[in-house]
Amino acid sequence: MTAYRCEFAWLPEGRVAAEVLVDVEGGRIVGLHERDQGAREDGSVSDAGVEQLRGLVLPGAANVHSHAFHRALRGRTQQGPGTFWSWRDHMYALAARLDPDTYLALARSCFAEMVLAGFTAVGEFHYLHHQPGGSAYVDPNEMGHVLIEAARQAGLRITLLDTCYLAGGFGVAPEGVQRRFDDGDAALWAARVEDLHRGYTGADDVTIGAAVHSVRAVPAAEIPVVAAWATARETPVHVHLSEQPAENEACLAAHGCSPTALLAGCGALDARTTAVHATHLDAADIGALAGALAGVCLCPTTERDLGDGIGPAHRLLAAGVPVSVGSDSHAIVDAFEETRAIELDLRLQTGERGHLVVEQLLRALTVDGHARLGVPNAGALQVGARADLVAVDLRSVRTAGGADVDHAAAAVVFGAAAADVTDVVVDGRRVVRDRVHRLGDVGALLTEAIAAVWP
């Protein structure tokens, strides 16, 4: 058994406690003792063998929506005029360049950057399935295996959301690099993913989930096949939803309804469904999501980078729709910036403050995020939960003044940056110590991996 003494810890009831001892065994929290509760039941109080975690210790964060290869776009797509649709052309150019070796290096370093930022799990929205031109690799799931291996080397859990992508738009066949994404039809997609799913049955660090890329990329007649596969295996199903007004308009023209209503009509809206972005929803859409017990993943740093808009987090939470976060295109990888942006963007939009409290924001980052990834026993510092511990410096230039039980949580949520994460434990394994990832210099790894795809 390993014990960690936390200077401060965020506990499930939404409070910070000082001097909390966390006992870890077999990758799970087996004991949790507050200073005011005295010693462990066995009477031991010695610090011998106890690892110290300074600052505020949070449960691990969940990065619910990621496209790992987009990390190579940072700094190359932020300048100049354009829209989401012109940005997509740059993304397609990158997708055309990747092979299993370059993808492994890029994803591994991207995932390591996530761990340094406090993420202990990722939902990888994976649609880069095939070779350029669309032919399958010898192993049709080669690229999926690459992403799982990258996550394992980086030290975080992965929910691989294998994505069905069959069309270039409503009634439009895939063209160009989109052929790399296309399995032909949903039945062929399901057969390929079933092989992948069987290969990781019983793996504690891997969940194989499903995704409908979007209602524009999967014909309505094919969506029920994806939903049925996920339902039969009780695994998550994610979907890009109402990210752009043009998507809503095109869906209305093609089907006479919103994307949310189309999903519901196809049987693809239930408690395992996570709608990614959900930026442009009306009241009926929000009601449908709430009625289905579905969740929403907001990606504020990507949504602002692409000019998508501001997601209605306050209206979603008021309706009972759980909200989580993802770094999506990795314009920034920073769990705290991603989370506080939910509240701060709403302040800009409405002219009012205080839409979400700190507890709601931390819940979105932790327990609700892990639940959307199909891992309900993570995201909380409590006995029986996965031993994911993230220590955040409370004495940096960004967080100084917050080293007490009354202010630590707000200091971190509204002031901390990824650089303030000092130590990360994932499933009981130390992956980051004193700001150093076990892989070494992650900046150098990123530099090398990105150079390999932009020669």
Which residues are designated catalytic?
277, 328
Task: Residue 202: count other Cβ atoms within 10 Å of its Cβ.
Answer: 5
Residue 285 token pair: 């859409």
What amino acid occupies position 37? Q
How far apart (Å, rounded) are the C-alpha atoms in residues 325 and 163? 19
Q: Which residues contact 311 (CB under 8 A, 6 or more apart)?
A: 277, 278, 279, 296, 298, 300, 303, 342
Q: Which residues contact 243 (CB under 8 A, 6 or more apart)?
A: 84, 214, 276, 277, 279, 280, 303, 308
Tokens 């994460």 label which residue?
421
Beta bridge partners, 208, equal: 160
What amino acid occupies position 212? V
Task: Tell me whether strands 389-392 and 323-325 are parallel, antiparallel or unpaired.
Answer: unpaired
What amino acid occupies position 12? P
On whether the CB atoms of residues 76 and 87 are closer than 8 A, the answer is no
Helix (H, G, I), strand (E, B) or coil at 454: coil
Tokens 């190359």 label which residue?
76
| Residue 211 CB-density burial (10 A; 0-12 exposed, 13-18 middle, 19+ buried) | buried
How far apart (Å, rounded) are the C-alpha atoms in residues 372 and 368? 6
Greatest alpha-carbon span in the chain = 70
What amino acid occupies position 125? F
How far apart (Å, rounded) are the C-alpha atoms in residues 151 and 112? 8
Measured in residues, the chain has a length of 455
